[in-house]
Amino acid sequence: MEAKSPSTRAARGRNPRGQGDRLRAEVLAAALRMLDGLGDDQALSLRAVAREVDVAATSVYLHFPDRDALVLAALEHCHRDLTDAVRRAELTAADDPVARLRARTLVLGAWAHRHPGLYKVLHESTLNQRAEMPFKEELGRSTAAAVQACMDAGLAPADDAATVALDLRAAVHGAVSMRVNQPGHPWPPLEEQVDRFLRKLVGVPGPGPC
């Protein structure tokens, strides 16, 4: 395939009026793909993203002043997708609060299995120490609400829902992170672990022995 000349590449970077949002979306999509493959935000560069999208690097800088800004935007985007997936999973559980809590918890594991690189960047990258990620608080609040619903229905012992939800999230994150970082280990099915977490940490009834 014939390589494109620098002038051709530069021309691709000049979007017609009103198409800046489209370029921004293309850059975000490319960053998400690359981060999922790399599993490390430090390995990403704006110039590499520009090459992936086939635009001049200056076109990327118009939308994202530095790598952290691009990575943050990408993580907020995938976090929004994850939140939407959680809501859809809860809808399948009808009016059973325990089933809704279980469904939303399993979605997190399924998402991490499909996007291990993004999961690592979202939760384990040094960007967490350099930048605020307030969008991550939404899942914490909704998990606490789901735990509270189980308590209100008399299906879990009364307790501080926020504290119980934090314990549950920590346990699930540990289980998922270990799978992401040690994929060759013979882990038990995540569904079984989640059921144990729900019984032991939340106190809800569930299948299998306690």
At 13 the pLDDT is 43
Q: Both 37 and 91 in a single domain? A: no
* Percentage, residues of the chain above pLDDT 90: 66
Q: Both 157 and 57 in a single domain? A: no
130 part of a folded domain = yes
Q: Both 50 and 133 in a single domain? A: no
Q: Both 58 and 80 in a single domain? A: no
Q: How many domains does the chain have?
A: 2
Nearest to 62 by CA among 5, 6, 19: 19
44 alpha-carbon distance from chain centroid? 18
Average model confidence (pLDDT) across the chain = 87
User: Using one digit for the tens of pLDDT, what is the confidence trace for 18-62?
Assistant: 567 899 999 999 999 999 999 999 999 999 999 999 999 999 999
48 part of a folded domain = yes
3-state secondary structure the chain: CCCCCHHHHHHHHCCCCCCHHHHHHHHHHHHHHHHHHHCCHHHCCHHHHHHHHCCCHHHHHHHCCCHHHHHHHHHHHHHHHHHHHHHHHHHCCCCCHHHHHHHHHHHHHHHHHHCHHHHHHHHHCCHHHHCCCHHHHHHHHHHHHHHHHHHHCCCCCCCCHHHHHHHHHHHHHHHHHHHHHCCCCCCCCHHHHHHHHHHHHHCCCCCCCC
126 part of a folded domain = yes
CATH no. for residue 185?
Answer: 1.10.357.10
Domain end call among 65, 85, 103: 65
Q: Both 38 and 90 in a single domain? A: no
* Percentage, residues of the chain above pLDDT 70: 89
Q: Both 17 and 113 in a single domain? A: no
Domain end call among 33, 65, 97: 65
210 part of a folded domain = no
137 part of a folded domain = yes
User: Using one digit for the tens of pLDDT, what is the confidence trace for 125-148?
Assistant: 888 888 888 888 998 999 999 999
At 8 the pLDDT is 37
Q: Both 155 and 88 in a single domain? A: yes
- pTM, 2 dp: 0.82
Comparing 164 with 79, which gets the higher pLDDT?
A: 164
50 part of a folded domain = yes
- pLDDT of 100 over the 50 cut: yes
Which residues does 172 contact at the CB level (< 8 Å), separation at least 6?
105, 108, 109, 194, 197
The residue range of the domain holding 82 is 68-202
20 part of a folded domain = yes
Q: Both 42 and 82 in a single domain? A: no
Q: Both 43 and 140 in a single domain? A: no
81 part of a folded domain = yes
